[in-house]
Structure 1
Amino acid sequence: MARPRLPRPLLAAAAATAGGAWYATFRRDRDRIRRDPIRPALRRDLAELGGETLGVPAGDGTRLRVRVVGPQDAPTVVLVHGWTCALEFWTLQLQALAGELRIVAYDLRGHGGSAPSSGGDYSIDAYADDLERVLRATVPEGRRATLVGHSLGAMTIAAWAGDRDAAEIRERVAAVGLLSTGLGDLISSSLILPTHGLGDRIEQELGQLVLGAAAPLPKRSTPISSRVVRYVALCGAASPATVAFCDRMVLSCPRDVRANTGSTISRVELHEGLRSLEVPTIVLGGRRDRLTPPVHTERMAEHLPQLLDLVLLDDVGHMAPLEAPEVTTDLIRRLVAAGDAAPSAATPLAAPATAG
């Protein structure tokens, strides 16, 4: 028996109503973004800061886009962004600090202006090796750098540290910041993956499937995409322009890079790498972070031999450098100051510090 069909005029009216509601929502979103006081800073062209753009070859030949800004004789800070982002993620910190610090920011392979992996390798080892190549190319010989990573960027730092002993790290690194990240058990703790209560094996397999999905995303921001990004990566307190900025970054990440890297993230276990970080370290997280909840920040703090501070921020999601830019900027300044006073590889270590 054939199903009854709605009359065409009724279907047309329903479509027109839905389209009108969509457009009205789009206009409201656009107006809120335009009125957001942070919008001009988020839209600023980083070329205005001066500096230079480098093309640094990775070990497998993949070309990495690297930006270096700030006084050449100032302490060097290396910023490593997270999954589906780009070096512009640090725009507010770059603008605030370019006059006082020498800042190196680069695009992870396949992200932003960096080339796709020449061999299709998006493993955590590949990302760690890329960091090594950037450090060799940008940190002056005999000087130490402060490393600050967000999400996958912090995982990259931990993976890089795991391949080195404490003496080498103290010789090359002044201090470390690990922001909005987790170093293992990411699926079991996530507040967005639909896996809980299904059993460990099923949860892990389903979580890997979700994070490694290569589903197509719209090419431009939409009312739906912006709300999904807000829910997953930010929180309700995030400003409209901040959400739109993150939405554009996520949508610009190639789907194969997003999928392959997401699959990598779902399987990492990097806590052992923290034991070599015998330098002042701050860990920071947002209490409303659904991707890497505060349990990860607290667990990392337990493994760090030179913990300077553990910071948990109210009303902040996963994108702390954008949601709490002043706090993040001050954290970088604290790390540089602590690194200046930290012992080198030739100096015996004092007893491990405790959280402040």
Structure 2
Amino acid sequence: MTDTLHFTAGDGARIAYRLDGPEDRPVLMLSNSIATTLHMWDGQVPELARSFRVLRYDFRGHGGSDAPAGAYSLDRLGRDVLELLDFLGIARVHFLGLSLGGFVGQWLGIHAPERIDRLILSNTSPHLGPASYFDEQIGNVLAASNLSATADMFMRNWFPASMLAAQNRTVEPFHAAILAMSPQGLAGCFAAVRDADLRRPISLITAPTLVIGGEDDKVTLASHSEAIAATIPGAELLLLPGVHLLNVERPAEFMEAVVGFLRSR
């Protein structure tokens, strides 16, 4: 595993990123869920890095990246990706985004089609509402003395009860990462989700697309995955038994789908 590096985005925010795998392989960019860091993919990177140059990063407001004040926009999160690719001199990537990362993947497919080879949208949605729900979450994280209640909420949304019932080494780092987060950064990304509505423009996506959903996802429902796949021309749909962080809950099936799609002609 490489060390975490940084670059400075156009508005001055420092964004953390990592590269793993051979330099001569196609680049696969990974984009994670809100309230996680690039370590969300630690379980997948060793296998992926055998076939791909794997690029992952922390959203602004998360992990090793800066947490500027104020609401973030999906446009800004998408431009962070494009500016990182420009900084690294990478013309095109395969892009795998889960949850908020999938919102960014949709944005890239619409606004920067020349940069995307194959697109995988996992456990995501083109629109989540109502806005009042996200306003409430923003108020909660900014007012709370710590993020323990927020962490508990995310854990219930991300993982099945069976994984949360006992001490679980797989899920514990996710809980710890939320407690260490910047409330300002989390609030900023909540605002980006609140304000995003891609339901119509995703019909413009031309990249070969795989949509992966969780049959028991409580946040980005299976019906959201079905709607994305029905709207993007030629998209493939795979629903797995599981909740939200399918790369963690169902790693074997998830990886089989991802690698199979990226290698298919």
When normalised by structure 2's length, the TM-score is 0.89
Instruction: Note the C-alpha offset of 1:225.
Output: 7.3
Match of 1:216 in 2: 144
> Residues 131 and 194 of structure 2 are in contact (CA less than 8 Å); yes or no, is this contact kept in structure 1?
no
When normalised by structure 1's length, the TM-score is 0.67
Q: Structure 2 unaligned segments of length 5 or more: list them.
A: none
Match of 1:333 in 2: 259
Instruction: Note the C-alpha offset of 1:262.
Output: 1.2
Pick from 92, 100, 103 the counterpart of residue 152 of structure 1: 100
- Output the amino acid matched with 2:16: R
2:72 aligned with 1:122, yes or no? yes
2:217 aligned with 1:289, yes or no? yes
Match of 1:110 in 2: 61
- The equivalences for 1:1-356 within 5 A come to 49=1, 51-117=2-68, 120-138=70-88, 140-141=90-91, 144-164=92-112, 169=113, 171-184=114-127, 186-187=128-129, 204=130, 206-213=132-139, 214=141, 215-216=143-144, 218=146, 228-238=153-163, 240-307=168-235, 309-314=236-241, 316-338=242-264, 341=265
Instruction: Note the C-alpha offset of 1:305.
Output: 1.3
> Residues 9 and 15 of structure 2 are in contact (CA less than 8 Å); yes or no, is this contact kept in structure 1?
yes
CA deviations over 1:127-185 (Å, ceiling 9, x no partner): 011011122233534xx310000111110121233324xxxx2x43220000111111x
| Other structure's SS at 2:176 match | helix
1: CA distance, partners of 2:249 / 2:220: 15
2: CA distance, partners of 1:238 / 1:282: 27
CA deviations over 1:213-259 (Å, ceiling 9, x no partner): 2242647x7xx777544322221243622331221122222111112
CA deviations over 1:93-115 (Å, ceiling 9, x no partner): 11222222110000011110011
- Output the amino acid matched with 2:22: P
Please tell me the root mean square deviation across aligned C-alpha atoms, in Å: 2.2
CA deviations over 1:250-293 (Å, ceiling 9, x no partner): 22221111123213312310133423321221111111111111
* Number of aligned residue pairs: 260
Instruction: Note the C-alpha offset of 1:322.
Output: 1.1
- Output the amino acid matched with 2:125: G
Match of 1:31 in 2: none
> Residues 69 and 102 of structure 1 are in contact (CA less than 8 Å); yes or no, is this contact kept in structure 2?
yes
Q: Of the two, which has the highest radius of gyration?
A: 1
Q: Structure 1 unaligned segments of length 5 or more: list them.
A: 1-48, 188-203, 342-356
What fraction of aligned residue pairs are identical, expressed as a percent? 26
| Other structure's SS at 1:310 match | strand
- Change over 3 Å in CA distance of 1:132–1:272 after alignment to 2: farther
2: CA distance, partners of 1:64 / 1:93: 22
